[in-house]
Amino acid sequence: MGMQQNLIEQLEEALVHKEIGRRAETLRRVTDLFVSGSGRFTVEQIELFDDVLSRLAEEIELSARAAFGARLAPLSDAPPRVLRGLALDDAIEVAGPILSLSERLDDATLVETARIKSQNHLLAIARRKVLAESVTDVLVDRGNREVVHTAAENAGARFSEVGYSALVEKAGRDGDLALTMWMRPEIPRQSLLTIFAQASESLRARFEAADPTKAGVLTDMLAQASNQIQTASREASPVYVTARSHILSLQRAGKLNEEQLANFARSGKFDEAAITLSIIGDLPIGVVERAITSERMEQILVLAKSLDLDWQTVEAILQLQVRTNGSASYEPDECRATFERLQSDMAKKAVQFLRLRERAAGCH
């Protein structure tokens, strides 16, 4: 109680004088008090500090705000309202340490800052130890090349399906970003397939050189092209194994049909949709995966026509393709017109030729 009364008295004294220098000095002394006792304050006491420090921090000069923020940034119990104000400060000297270091700063404030502040603010956020999907979505969307690369290189960053699609699209024009994404251990398999498919031979060589632990596998992949990376990636993926087991159980129960295929595609379930289409179409899984990860939609349209799929199902698969490879070129009306112009018998012959060719080559 005595400490709280002392804080109130210091606040009242600072506000009476209204001198910037006096307020800055009082802010420093109250900050000293908080830092020295950090970790031992009650919720009520932190709320009191939050009120005191917020009011004292108003209208002080830049250097004082920057010093203030730098001292609070590492503290796990720093007053939340003060942190929010500092994080949203236009001056990166003030906001930077808070955005990069404060584990107390909530994701909502990070998202708000990333949406409205400068690229320097976004870069500071990208350097945080941990980044939630809601935050990286904004960083990838708004950030410049340095911001996007920093986020992609951050081992503590997590990316949503939307975020990965955007990164894949950017990686198609940026070999360094593609290499960074290649090295991320948790990258979705469909994103890995797309990155590999759109990479040049020289970039694939960089993939091989970047991680010596993968050298043997990657050498084989490079020698045998994209079929091998699909096979190796598929066999090593517990997600794929689980999905295939589920699909086979549906097939045994007589429940694997076009409706299931459409539902998987609408839900963004790449493996489930690809496996279902492979079984229904009697095609190697690698052929279907390459069709979905391709930026071109003709293969999907021909395959769908050969199976006499409804347009609603075809549209769901095309939307999955867009979400997978980050393509923005999908035109529903144009695709539907092309689909309707296709002749079923010609599509069936084209797919039958594809089956024979792939099986002769021993593709999976």
Q: Is the pLDDT of residue 344 over 80?
A: yes
| Tokens representing residue 260 in the block | 């299931």
Q: CA-CA distance, 261 to 277, in Å (whole number)?
A: 7
The average pLDDT across 95-103 equals 96
Q: CA-CA distance, 358 to 171, in Å (whole number)?
A: 29
Supply the DSSP symbol for 307.
Answer: T
Lowest-confidence segment of 62-66, 80-84, 121-125, 245-249 by average pLDDT:
62-66
Q: Cβ of 144: how many Cβ atoms within 10 Å?
A: 10
Q: Is the pLDDT of residue 54 over 90?
A: no
Q: Tell me, yes or no, if the pTM score tops 0.75.
A: no
Give the 3-state secondary structure of residue 157.
Answer: strand
Q: CA-CA distance, 207 to 241, in Å (whole number)?
A: 25
Model confidence at 215, pLDDT cuts 50, 70, 90, reads: very low
The residue ranking higher by pLDDT, 8 or 202, is 202
Give the model confidence (pLDDT) of 222-253 as tens digits.
Answer: 445 455 556 666 666 788 889 999 999 999 99
**C-alpha to C-alpha distances, 95 to 32, 104, 151, nearest whole angstrom:** 20, 14, 18
Half-sphere exposure of 92 (CA within 13 A, CB side): 11
Top mean pLDDT of 3-17, 82-96, 319-333, 338-352 is at 82-96
User: Which residue's entry shows tokens 């593609």?
Assistant: 178
The average pLDDT across 298-314 equals 93
| Sign for the pseudo-dihedral over CA of 187, 192, 195, 200 | positive
Q: CA-CA distance, 83 to 100, in Å (whole number)?
A: 12
Beta carbons of 193 and 233 less than 8 angstroms apart: yes
Lowest-confidence segment of 20-34, 164-178, 206-220, 331-345 by average pLDDT:
206-220
Q: CA-CA distance, 152 to 60, in Å (whole number)?
A: 36
Angle between helices 161-171 and 133-142 (to 10 degrees): 30
